[in-house]
């Protein structure tokens, strides 16, 4: 059907839904808005689905949520008997309602739904899927997107987000359905039939916190220093408030000041433009409070508490925001050096990072005798690598990270974990405080030791039906004529991950890549720099990654500015 036919069908089919009907009638004269809402169905992939709230096939609403859930139920019932799904949600608009609707549609299909009774972070859901031996998990969240968004993330029985093959099967099941096909049970009937169970505080949370605490590297030193280390934390109105404060308290860090204006759930995220710990503006209130209480470090988690941002106080008293790469390398350095000092660093230790994350990880791993693996962007691929290590016994997983502020040092969770990361960064701050250092000092030492690895990420937003074509055209154009040099620096290798090839430009030799198919172009450059271009998996934009390194900070900064300006031409040429 055309977008206009879809619009008319919704007006007719859902006329009894007063709220939806009124919203659709209100846009009757806005053809562009109708087109945007109905030109496609909200896409479902390895990251589930995410979109703006509202009526329409290309929006997050009860119909799209129930339809996706019906497709998931059909998939699960086709692959096993009496399946179980764990469901969590964050503080966003309609999250609790969408979570309940998900549970009731599953129950109507004979799937046992285990629904958390209040907000829970993504890592707790990932842990619960594994601990409760569930067949799948669902989290209702749009992560760090603006308040008008929500989303639906699906997890497999391993606790990681579903992979491409599973996503394709679920997508096929969803696309076979009409939007009104899913018929949820009422809550009382679902509970009476044993198909809806509520998960309370002690069922999963206590064991999760205990397991996170077991990841501590230097618990005694942390308890000694934790009484005087001053930290400011903001959950940005999200699900991290309870578990992050609890883990800090239980490892002995007691002087934690919480940003009161951002402590409680607020679906409008009224104190920030976007609830994103990557955004410096998210730290405005935290830094103000840190100056008032004399804190040495402040950090923020996003609404579903899978990402962590950190600001550290420099020697001049000012705060410095760390990048996701810097936070990851700080944590990795702390873990590897701490385990080496304690005699607990395994000979087959491994760190896993995404391909677009900093190459600074390589010399740090080399210095500690630890293997480093790259994966595609998406923490599910790090989760898959953890499972591969366990299946083969080839390596012991120590740490995984992405430049987009996601970190993990456990194997009992298979997604990025803001609670785990909060504990690690606080513990590192306490440990180095005992040595008379702060985290800014340690980051500077890492740069001085291994070189200044700097990075810049920028995006070109291309919304709507025209945006999809613009993104596809831009990627096709770059792929047809990949650059041989960028900003005067030669490209050594071109990795076309959609084609599955690595081309050496000096020799012309072409090798097959082991990565799954993905629309990514990666330019490995002479000198160890790289530029990468890829469409975002969750937003209508193309992302450009630029990474450089140099032994001198000023030269590295100059090189980054130059290469960023030149690489940006790839998106507009």
3-class DSSP assignment, residue 357: coil
Residue 442: closest CA among 421, 425, 456: 425
Name 23's Cβ contacts closer than 8 Å, sequence gap at least 6: 54, 55
Q: Write down the domain spans for the chain.
A: 1-35, 40-199, 208-450, 452-572
Fold of 208-450: Alpha-D-Glucose-1,6-Bisphosphate; Chain A, domain 3 (3.40.120)
The whole-number pLDDT of residue 538 equals: 66
- Low pLDDT (below 70) residues in the chain: 537-538, 573
State which CATH number among 1.10.760.10, 3.30.310.50, 3.90.960.10, 1.10.10.10 fits the domain covering 452-572.
Answer: 3.30.310.50
Alpha-carbon gap, residue 103 to 94, rounded angstroms: 14
Please check whether the two domains, 40-199 and 208-450, share a CATH topology.
Answer: yes
Q: Between vectors from CA 380 to CA 375 and to CA 384, what angle results, nearest 5°?
A: 70
| Number of Cβ atoms within 10 Å of the Cβ of 80 | 11
pLDDT computed for residue 156 by the predictor: 97
Q: For 457-509, write each residue's pLDDT tens digit.
A: 998 887 777 777 888 889 999 999 999 999 999 999 999 999 999 999 999 99
Is the domain 40-199 a CATH 3.40.120.10 member? yes
- Give me the pLDDT at residue 537, please: 67
Catalytically annotated residues: 143
Neighbouring-strand partners of residue 112: 84
H or E segment to which residue 512 belongs = strand 510-512
Which tens digits make up the pLDDT trace of 333-356? 999 999 999 999 999 999 999 999
pLDDT for res 202: 82
Count each helix (H run) and each strand (E run) in the chain, helices first.
Answer: 20, 23
Q: Tell me the β-bridge partners of 501.
A: 496, 512
**What pLDDT, in 10s, does the model give residues 233-246?**
999 999 999 999 99
Spatial contact of 241 and 260, defined as CB atoms under 8 Å apart = no
């Amino acid at each position: 059907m055309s977008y206009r036919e879809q619009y008319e069908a919704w007006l007719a089919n859902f006329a009894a839904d007063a709220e939806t009907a009124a919203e659709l009638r209100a846009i009757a004269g806005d053809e562009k808005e109708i087109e945007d809402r109905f030109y496609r169905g909200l896409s479902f992939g390895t990251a589930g689905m995410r979109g703006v709230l509202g009526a329409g096939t290309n929006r997050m609403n009860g119909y799209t949520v129930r339809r996706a859930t019906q497709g998931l139920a059909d998939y699960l019932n086709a692959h096993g008997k009496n399946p179980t799904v764990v469901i969590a949600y964050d503080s966003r608009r309609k999250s609790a309602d969408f979570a309940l609707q998900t549970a009731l549609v599953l129950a109507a299909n004979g799937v046992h739904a285990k629904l958390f009774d209040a907000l829970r972070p993504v890592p707790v859901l990932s842990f619960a899927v594994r601990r409760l031996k569930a067949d799948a998990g669902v989290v209702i969240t749009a992560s760090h997107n603006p308040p008008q968004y929500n989303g639906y993330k699906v997890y497999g029985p391993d606790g990681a987000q579903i992979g491409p093959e599973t996503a394709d099967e679920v997508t096929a099941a969803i696309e076979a359905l009409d939007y009104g096909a899913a018929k949820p049970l009422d809550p009382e009937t679902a509970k009476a039939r044993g198909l809806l169970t509520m998960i309370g505080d002690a069922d999963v949370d206590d064991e999760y916190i205990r397991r996170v605490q077991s990841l501590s590297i230097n618990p005694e030193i942390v308890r000694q220093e934790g009484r005087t280390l001053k930290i400011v934390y903001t959950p940005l109105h999200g699900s991290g408030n309870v578990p992050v404060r609890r883990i800090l308290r239980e490892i002995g860090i007691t002087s934690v000041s919480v940003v009161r204006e951002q402590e409680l759930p607020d679906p409008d995220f009224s104190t920030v433009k976007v609830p994103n710990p990557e955004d410096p503006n998210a730290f405005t209130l935290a830094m103000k409070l840190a100056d008032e209480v004399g804190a040495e470090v402040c950090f923020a988690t996003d609404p579903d508490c899978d990402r962590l941002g950190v600001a550290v106080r420099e020697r001049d008293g000012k705060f410095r925001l760390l990048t996701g790469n810097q936070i990851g390398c700080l944590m990795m350095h702390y873990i590897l050096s701490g385990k080496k000092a304690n005699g607990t660093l395994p000979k087959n230790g491994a760190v896993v990072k995404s391909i677009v994350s900093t190459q600074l990880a390589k010399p740090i791993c080399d210095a500690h005798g630890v293997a480093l693996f790259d994966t595609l962007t998406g923490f599910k691929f790090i989760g898959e690598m953890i499972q591969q290590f366990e299946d083969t016994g080839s390596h012991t997983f120590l740490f995984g990270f992405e430049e987009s502020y996601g970190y993990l040092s456990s194997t009992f969770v298979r997604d990025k974990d803001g609670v785990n990361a909060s504990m690690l960064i606080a513990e590192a701050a306490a440990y180095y405080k005992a040595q008379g250092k702060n985290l800014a000092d340690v980051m500077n030492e890492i740069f001085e030791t291994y070189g200044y690895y700097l990075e810049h990420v920028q995006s070109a937003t291309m919304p709507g039906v025209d945006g999809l074509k613009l993104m596809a055209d831009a990627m096709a154009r770059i792929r047809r004529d990949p650059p041989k040099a960028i900003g005067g620096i030669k490209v050594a290798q071109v990795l076309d991950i959609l084609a599955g090839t690595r081309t050496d430009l000096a020799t012309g030799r072409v090798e097959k890549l082991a990565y799954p198919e993905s629309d990514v172009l990666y330019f490995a450059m002479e000198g160890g720099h790289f530029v990468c271009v890829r469409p975002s998996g969750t937003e209508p934009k193309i992302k450009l990654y630029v990474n450089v390194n140099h032994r001198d900070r000023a030269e590295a900064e100059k090189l980054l500015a130059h290469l960023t300006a030149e690489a940006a031409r790839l998106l507009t040429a």
